[in-house]
């Protein structure tokens, strides 16, 4: 189908954003010209999240401005990670700063908003960036912002699932998550949180088992059928379940995740 000129104009907001992010990241290279390996991970993550977003958007039949806006927000979602890391030496928000909020501030100050097409682009992208890492989306979020905020959260989670799995399989998860106790069981606080709220948060994560359990609970926070299909296609949920220690409070939760995935995929 032929695109209108107006629609075609909108199609490259995400290209402009990727170009800006690439240049922004250049400023974080050391005197030797190298980017810290963990910042390189975030650079690649940003592109993978954009690619995941494109797959989900295509699965949903999103086209034109909405698709482009979603990809724009996906590319920029972790803009706060770079300043967070050089300022605090960690990606752990609990010990530093909320990186979604920081990303919003970085973009407000440094992004060339005048280059983006579309009246609502700035507000929608900033909202999606600020909200991408929050435990839940706010109940009263405007329907104008909701789809892009939701697709960025799904796209981000898919790459984090893959990233963590790869690092666990290569026995180097501590490169990615330095504070994690690889051998330990579940923390009591996390199990309580899961029982009370149905979702665990990073705040209570101590061990790899905790982290994988929090990741599994993300199944209840995925928004779109294509996201479930992508993750199910990877065998993600079974892979995690196969690594979780058995626990009387956790086992029924794992079963409920599988029922949910089956219903949603």
Instruction: Give contact residues for Fe ion (rule: CB under 5 A).
Output: 78, 133
Residue bearing tokens 């490259």: 12
Residue with Cβ nearer Fe ion (42 or 165): 42
Q: Whose CA is closest to 116, among 9, 190, 37?
A: 9
Residue with Cβ nearer Fe ion (78 or 154): 78
Q: CB of residue 102 vs Fe ion: minimum separation in angstroms?
A: 10
Residue with Cβ nearer Fe ion (133 or 227): 133
Select the residue whose beta carbon is closest to Fe ion and give its number.
78
Q: CB of residue 195 vs Fe ion: minimum separation in angstroms?
A: 27
Lookup: tokens for 17? 């954003």
Residue with Cβ nearer Fe ion (38 or 265): 38
Q: CB of residue 148 vs Fe ion: minimum separation in angstroms?
A: 15
Q: CB of residue 49 vs Fe ion: minimum separation in angstroms?
A: 9
Residue with Cβ nearer Fe ion (84 or 124): 84
- Rounded CA separation 99/79 (Å): 8
Backbone dihedral angles phi then psi of residue 178, each to the nearest 5 degrees: -60, -25
Distance of CA 125 to the CA centre of its chain: 14
Q: CB of residue 256 vs Fe ion: minimum separation in angstroms?
A: 26
Q: 14 and 50 in contact (C-beta within 8 Å)?
A: yes
Residue with Cβ nearer Fe ion (78 or 193): 78
Upper half-sphere CA count for residue 237 (Cβ side, 13 Å): 24
Residue with Cβ nearer Fe ion (78 or 210): 78
Q: CB of residue 133 vs Fe ion: minimum separation in angstroms?
A: 5
Q: CB of residue 8 vs Fe ion: minimum separation in angstroms?
A: 31
207 strand-pairing partners: 181
């Amino acid at each position: 189908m032929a695109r209108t000129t107006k629609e075609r104009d909108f199609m490259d907001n995400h290209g402009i954003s990727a170009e800006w992010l690439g240049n922004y990241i250049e400023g974080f290279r050391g005197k030797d010209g190298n980017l810290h390996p963990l910042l390189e991970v975030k650079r690649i993550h940003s592109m993978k999240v954009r690619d995941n977003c494109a797959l989900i958007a295509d699965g949903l039949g999103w086209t034109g401005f909405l698709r482009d806006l979603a990809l724009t927000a996906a590319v920029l979602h972790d803009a706060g990670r770079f300043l967070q890391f050089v300022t605090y030496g960690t990606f752990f928000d609990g010990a530093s700063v909320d990186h979604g909020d920081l990303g919003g501030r970085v973009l407000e100050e440094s992004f060339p908003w005048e280059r983006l097409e579309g009246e609502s682009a700035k507000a929608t992208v900033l909202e999606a960036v600020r909200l991408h890492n929050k435990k839940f989306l706010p109940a009263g979020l405007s329907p104008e912002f909701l789809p892009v905020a939701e697709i960025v959260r799904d796209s981000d989670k898919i790459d984090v699932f893959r990233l963590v799995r790869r690092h666990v399989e290569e026995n180097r998860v501590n490169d990615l998550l330095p504070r994690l106790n690889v051998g330990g069981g579940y923390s009591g606080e996390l199990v309580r949180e899961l029982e009370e709220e149905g979702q665990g948060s990073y705040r209570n994560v101590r061990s790899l088992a905790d982290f994988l359990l929090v990741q599994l609970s993300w199944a209840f926070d995925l928004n779109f059928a294509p996201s479930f299909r992508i993750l199910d296609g990877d065998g993600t949920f079974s892979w995690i379940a196969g690594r979780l220690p058995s626990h009387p409070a956790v086992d029924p939760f794992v079963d409920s995740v599988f029922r949910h995935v089956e219903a949603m995929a």
